[in-house]
Amino acid sequence: MRMIKKIFITIFLFQLSFLNTLSARPAPDSFADLAEKLMPSVVNISTTQTIKTTNNPFPFQFPPGSPFEEMFKDFNQPTERKASSLGSGFIVDKEGTVITNNHVINNAEDIVVRVGEKEYKAKIVGADPYMDIAVLKIESKDTFTPVKFGDSDKARVGDWVMAIGNPFGLGGTVTAGIISARNRDINLTRYDDFIQTDASINQGNSGGPLFNMDGDVVGINTAIIAPNQSGSIGIGFAIPSNAASSVIDQLVKFGETKRGWLGVRIQEVTKEIADVEKLKNTEGALVASVGEKSPAEKAGLQPGDIILKFDGQKIDTMRTLPKLVSRTEVGKTVELEIWRDKKLITKKLTLGRLESSEDFKAENKPVNPKKEESEIEVLKITVRDVSPQDIESRKLDKKTEGVVILEIGNKSPLTGLLQAGDIILEVQKNKVSSADDLNKQIETINKKGEQTLLLTIINNNNQRRYLGVKIN
């Protein structure tokens, strides 16, 4: 009997401990107290801008000199109209500094901020289109009620959050939900790293705050997925407060951002590439190309390098590197750990500034002059040698050698990966001088029993890329 009691007590204590763990952060009975406290810090933003249009009710134009040209000239006169847009924001100091999205105030001529029942004019302190953040200043000597940023890194999937904003012009609207996911990339900005929430967010919520249950801002509501322009379906996205804070500090201090710049184009390290490079894991960022006169070039980085660490921080995926670089102070000297030729090396470089750099903008389409064609049987593709015309028309390096893909067969291992016009430069990082050379190299690789090719290519947008391809 004593033993049974002991077991029962043990089980009871375990259950009690388990239940306490589960109910450590229960759902709130009400959001009312928190909403009431935070509402004075959330603002409605309305903007106006002038749009120029041409008034022409006819689906045609009269030729110059036509007798009808003078008669109907008034119909082609440009006209102006005022357009307005709505958004949300929140106050972060007593002087009336307001945070919102850049797209809320972009091209605005007049900005009106509504705080409670009062309206104020506001001016733009600074804006950042890369992360879609803007800082405004209310033009008033009134004292305002601010909110503070929380630590978004501590926000967990499943945590309760609350959004306050101005959806469809209905100011002071409160919605609640949970954090559904983190680190979302939806191809909206250069530095996507969104918090996903199921708290209802709609048109007009942009720029508004996403609060945790302590009343701290953990995100800036920015976007939703809304099929067919319908309302919220429970998939909204917010910029994490930790990512936004550094940008906001720069905008307040300088009126603009000053991001670090490395000067490389990167791509994902796939399993195939990791196998060829003898990397244990698919980690790091593969350097596809190095910008001319960039910090990376000056430090000796090369295409094909795999950056594993930046300033002591591990690069888990390709997406990690741009975020770390952008948040690093311009002019800072950092150390990189690089995987090159199956060995680990280190490089030191001094970061430049992204905003003053030349970005890679080669958009010329290839020209395919008539030239002798060759079949690459293993890859089931038709190619020709790179010509002087290719180099000139695509503004390639004058020493460029390789083959231009003309056609990709249905059963080619390159189907869906490459397209006609792409140029193969290297195989296993060995230069390809011609179609014959490419065939010989692939033949040698086949004889060695290697199952994966590492191709270095230039795509139709003149971007240098690496591609791992299974051939056996």
Closest CA to 414 of 465, 446, 383, 380: 380
CB-based contacts of 243, cutoff 8 Å, min separation 6: 131, 152, 191, 193, 323, 327
pLDDT of residue 56: 53
CATH of the domain at 279: 2.30.42.10
Q: How confident is the model at residue 331 (pLDDT cuts 50, 70, 90)?
A: very high
CB-based contacts of 175, cutoff 8 Å, min separation 6: 162, 163, 164, 199, 200, 201
**Measured between alpha carbons, how far is 83 from 79 in angstroms, rounded to an integer?**
13
Domain boundary among 254, 288, 317: 254
Q: How confident is the model at residue 57 (pLDDT cuts 50, 70, 90)?
A: low
pLDDT of residue 59: 47
Q: Are residues 298 and 342 in the same domain?
A: yes
Q: Are residues 301 and 381 in the same domain?
A: no
**Measured between alpha carbons, how far is 412 from 379 in angstroms, rounded to an integer?**
5
Domain boundary among 96, 111, 138: 138
Task: Judge whether 414 lies within some domain.
Answer: yes
Range of the domain at 425: 374-470
Q: What is the mean pLDDT of residues 351-357?
A: 88
Q: What is the mean pLDDT of residues 85-107?
A: 93
Burial class (CB in 10 A: 0-12, 13-18, 19+), 22: exposed
Q: Are residues 386 and 460 in the same domain?
A: yes
67-84 tens-digit pLDDT: 555 555 555 555 565 666
Global pTM value: 0.67
Burial 177-191 (b: 16+ CB within 10 A, else e): bebbeeebeeebbeb
- Centre a 10 Å sphere on the Cβ of residue 43 and count the other Cβ atoms it contains: 32
Q: What are the catalytic residues?
A: 103, 132, 206
Domains held by the chain: number: 4
Task: Judge whether 27 lies within some domain.
Answer: no
Q: Indicate if the pLDDT at residue 451 is higher than 80.
A: yes
Q: Are residues 41 and 132 in the same domain?
A: yes
* Higher pLDDT, residue 251 or 443: 251
Q: What is the mean pLDDT of residues 28-41?
A: 93
179, 197 contact by CB (below 8 A): yes
DSSP code of residue 172: S
Q: Are residues 101 and 193 in the same domain?
A: no
Q: How confident is the model at residue 146 (pLDDT cuts 50, 70, 90)?
A: very high
Task: Judge whether 64 lies within some domain.
Answer: no
DSSP-assigned states of every residue in 7-71: HHHHHHHHHHHHHHHHTSSPPPS-SHHHHHHHGGGEEEEEEEEEEEEE---SSS-PPTT-HHHHH
DSSP code of residue 158: T
Which range of 95-109, 371-385, 438-452 scores highest in mean pLDDT? It is 95-109
Q: Which range (18-27, 97-106, 130-139, 198-207) has the least confidence?
A: 18-27
Looking at this protein, which amino acid is placed at residue 194?
A: F
CATH of the domain at 186: 2.40.10.10
CB-based contacts of 301, cutoff 8 Å, min separation 6: 264, 287, 290, 336, 338, 347, 349
Q: What is the mean pLDDT of residues 128-135?
A: 93
Q: Are residues 107 and 177 in the same domain?
A: no
Looking at this protein, which amino acid is placed at residue 457?
A: I
Q: Are residues 45 and 134 in the same domain?
A: yes
Longest dimension (CA), the chain: 114
Q: Are residues 398 and 461 in the same domain?
A: yes
* Higher pLDDT, residue 20 or 458: 458
Q: What is the mean pLDDT of residues 221-235?
A: 78
CB-based contacts of 117, cutoff 8 Å, min separation 6: none
pLDDT of residue 10: 42
Task: Judge whether 72 lies within some domain.
Answer: no
Q: Where are the beta strands (DSSP E) in 92-193?
A: 97-100, 110-115, 118-128, 133-138, 160-165, 173-184
**Measured between alpha carbons, how far is 32 from 38 in angstroms, rounded to an integer?**
10
Task: Judge whether 65 lies within some domain.
Answer: no
Task: Judge whether 307 lies within some domain.
Answer: yes
Q: Are residues 391 and 417 in the same domain?
A: yes
Q: How confident is the model at residue 368 (pLDDT cuts 50, 70, 90)?
A: very low
**Measured between alpha carbons, how far is 152 from 422 in angstroms, rounded to an integer?**
42
252-302 tens-digit pLDDT: 999 999 999 999 999 999 999 999 999 999 999 999 999 988 999 999 999
**Measured between alpha carbons, how far is 436 from 86 in angstroms, rounded to an integer?**
62
pLDDT of residue 12: 38
Q: Are residues 271 and 325 in the same domain?
A: yes
> What backbone torsions phi and psi does residue 21 show, to the nearest 5 degrees?
-65, -45
Task: Judge whether 63 lies within some domain.
Answer: no
Task: Judge whether 388 lies within some domain.
Answer: yes
Q: What is the mean pLDDT of residues 354-383?
A: 67
Q: Are residues 96 and 188 in the same domain?
A: no
384, 372 contact by CB (below 8 A): yes
Q: Are residues 157 and 246 in the same domain?
A: yes
**Locate tokens 């104020």: which residue?**
120
Domain boundary among 328, 356, 384: 356
Mean pLDDT, rounded, of the chain: 85
CB-based contacts of 43, cutoff 8 Å, min separation 6: 88, 89, 90, 91, 98, 113, 114, 115
117-126 tens-digit pLDDT: 999 999 999 9
